[in-house]
Amino acid sequence: MIEWSWQRADDAMPYLWDGFQVTLLATLIGFVVAAILGLGIAVIRRSAPRWVSMPVHAAAEFVRLTPMVVQLLFVYALLPGVTALTIGVAVLGVHYSTYMAEVYRAGIEEVPKGQWEAARALSLPPQRTWRAVIIPQVVRNSLPALGNNAVSMLKDTPYLFTITVVELVTEAQRYGAAHFAYLEAFTLAGVFFLVASYPTSVLIRQLEKRLAHG
């Protein structure tokens, strides 16, 4: 029978902390990439000429509907000179940008028609309309869904092990194998994920309540 050992748990903490920092780094940078790129995709699909928007839409659908693991392995094999973490962050960001683009698209559709008409009545240039009128409302309305995507991205970082990135789960597996301490290592890894994701989930719920009553 496997028994919990606080000594093994304490010994595992420094290793798991190192892995957790990689997980957080990949999530944070990946989220920034996804949020910015996703907004760009949504705006292009809404306002660009058809000959531009259609290929962008097709590419986004291809990325969204294919497994992220396949994308990671493909890019890793295609770019052998680039570090695994860089590739992992980039693929994570691009993959989730397609989901965030859908979130933004829904937010754009929620902007009242009167806002668009008022911008045209004031003869605002398209760039000014997007920057000053539309995008602030879209981002505000999309914040809860974007937060949910951030939590999902955090939970998907273990896929980075397929391209040799030593994130939290990989570090737990390595420590467990080396010290026969799988129980402690994976339990603590789960706690790390919970500590990172629970505050975000609470914040998302608070945002949803504020927006609902705003």
Report H helices in the chain.
6-47, 50-65, 68-78, 84-110, 113-121, 126-128, 135-156, 168-179, 182-212
Residues 6+ apart with CB under 8 A from 145: 103, 106
Q: How far apart are CA 126 and CA 131, in angstroms?
A: 9
CB atoms within 10 A of CB 12: 24
| Model confidence pLDDT, tens digit, residues 76-134 | 999 999 999 999 999 999 999 999 999 999 888 888 888 787 778 777 787 888 887 88
Q: What are phi and psi of 66, to 5 degrees?
A: -110, 150
Which residue ranges form the domains of the chain, and what is each CATH number? Answer: 6-212 (1.10.3720.10)
| Model confidence pLDDT, tens digit, residues 12-44 | 999 999 999 999 999 999 999 999 999 999 999
> pTM (2 decimals)?
0.90
